Amino acid sequence: MIFHVDANSFYASCERLFRPDLAEKPIIVLSNNDGIVIALNAEAKSLGFQRGDAYFKIAEACDRSGVSVFSSNYTLYADISARLVSIYNRLCPEVEIYSIDECFLYYPDWKCPDFTGIGSHIKNTVARETGMPVSIGIAPTRTLAKFCNSLAKKRGGVLSWEELDQDSELASCPAGGIWGIGRAKEANLRRHGIISARDLKDYPLHLAKKHLSITGVRTIQELNGVPAIDRIEREKKLNICSSKSFAEAIDNLDELEEALSSYTQEAVTRAREQGSAARYVSVYLMTNPWDETGPQYCAQLSAALPKPTAYLPDILEAALSLLRRLYREGYRYRKVMVNLLGLEDDTVAQGELFETDSNRPRKEALMRCFDAVTARYGRNALHTGGTILSQRAWNMRRNFLSPAYTTDVARIPEVY
């Protein structure tokens, strides 16, 4: 059975954790450089604000209606996200991170399981231990789990496909509301008489194979309870995460560095393939929570890159230095993960009037070469050696940045 766990208004909820004065108040979170609204809570939505609003246009309205505005604080979000993931890992044998605020949890199909009860337990544990609200959709396929989650948000937070009046729920959801469909595909479906999610589910497979893309066919299978999407696929990701569990536990730093290097390279390659540059790197290191014989360790650190980059050596050095800070001797590690966050278009990132990095043309030439070799000989044709990350200054507009409450001892919340 697949659980889709999603934090409600994740960024806004993170900002509220350590601001008791903001309970039930509207909150808006801005993109890198305080450009546009990227997240907002229900209270802000009900005032008419929307994702994508340009901040300079709504700044006055925010002021007037008492909306609290924040710059994106990925240090905080990554830390809270890692806390959620480590709780999921404790409660479920197989966790797949889909984005900074969404995970898929896979539970084996036991006899007579109380999946809704397990869902409530996850939700309550996360709320008690981190203060974060999550909602959970439970279904035999990912598409249906996401669908259940969208309903769960309005109905108590935990919803199982098996408890639903399935056909009528699908009938009252437009086809575009289903994971992987979207507005553009919705118009195409309409031409074939598919309006609701139920129409899509009942669309004959032989016609689907003729008229729809392979993802469309998979979505139909998933709606019918047949798992068909086994790899995460998305148009353009906002974060890219690469990790694998080791076949055998690793206890020494050299091997961990080697593993992390290859995952980082994979993540950077994926970022480059979609033309993105990363703002932040986060590394996650853990032992096997199911191994009761050894001591447990699980930790995460993230760092801001001096500027958005898709230059592998810079990102790799940042990732490795995080790993060295995380590493403790005497543990049998099971998993290392790298996450590239705050992805934005590489072209936008380059639009600076005065180039401060004199090595930039050389870096770009090198990465063009890297891309060409990767395209021709595969992702693992080239490997990196090590270099040293120098101290570099931060340069991004973040006028409304909240403190790194959970990661900087000088900025921890105050108590009276």
Residues contributing to the site for other proteins (CB under 8 A): 18, 20-21, 23, 82-84, 86-87, 128-131, 298-299, 328-330, 405-406, 409, 412-416
Smallest separation, CB 153 to other proteins (Å): 22
> Alpha carbon of 124 to those of 84, 101, 157: distances in Å?
12, 17, 10
Nearer to other proteins, 20 or 378 (CB): 20
Nearer to other proteins, 204 or 330 (CB): 330
Nearer to other proteins, 223 or 283 (CB): 283
In this structure, what token pair is assigned to residue 110? 């036991």
Alpha carbon distance 136, 117 (integer Å): 11
Smallest separation, CB 233 to other proteins (Å): 29
Smallest separation, CB 24 to other proteins (Å): 12
In this structure, what token pair is assigned to residue 131? 């203060």
In this structure, what token pair is assigned to residue 207? 């016609």
> In terms of Cα–Cα distance, which of 171, 218, 214 is closest to 195?
171
Smallest separation, CB 20 to other proteins (Å): 4
Nearer to other proteins, 8 or 150 (CB): 8
Nearer to other proteins, 87 or 315 (CB): 87
Smallest separation, CB 191 to other proteins (Å): 48
What ranges make up the beta strands (E) of 100-147? 102-106, 134-139
Tokens 């409304």 correspond to 400
Q: b or e along 158-186 (b: 16 or more beta carbons within 10 Å of the residue's beta carbon)?
A: bbbbeebebeebbeebbbbbbbbbeeebb
In this structure, what token pair is assigned to residue 305? 């890159």
Smallest separation, CB 404 to other proteins (Å): 12
Nearer to other proteins, 95 or 139 (CB): 95
Smallest separation, CB 62 to other proteins (Å): 19
Alpha carbon distance 78, 405 (integer Å): 12
Alpha carbon distance 220, 286 (integer Å): 37
Smallest separation, CB 391 to other proteins (Å): 25
- Cβ neighbourhood burial of 266 (10 Å; 0-12, 13-18, 19+): middle
Smallest separation, CB 238 to other proteins (Å): 23
Tokens 């050696």 correspond to 385
* Phi, psi of 27, rounded to the nearest 5 degrees: -135, 135
- Give Cβ neighbours of residue 251 (< 8 Å, ≥ 6 apart): 329, 330, 331, 332, 333
Instruction: Using DSSP, state whether 285 is helix, strand or coil.
Output: strand
Nearer to other proteins, 36 or 253 (CB): 253
Nearer to other proteins, 274 or 296 (CB): 296
Nearer to other proteins, 21 or 165 (CB): 21
Complete DSSP assignment for 146-170? HHHHHHHTTTTSEEEGGGS-HHHHH
Nearer to other proteins, 212 or 250 (CB): 250
Smallest separation, CB 334 to other proteins (Å): 16
Alpha carbon distance 122, 125 (integer Å): 5
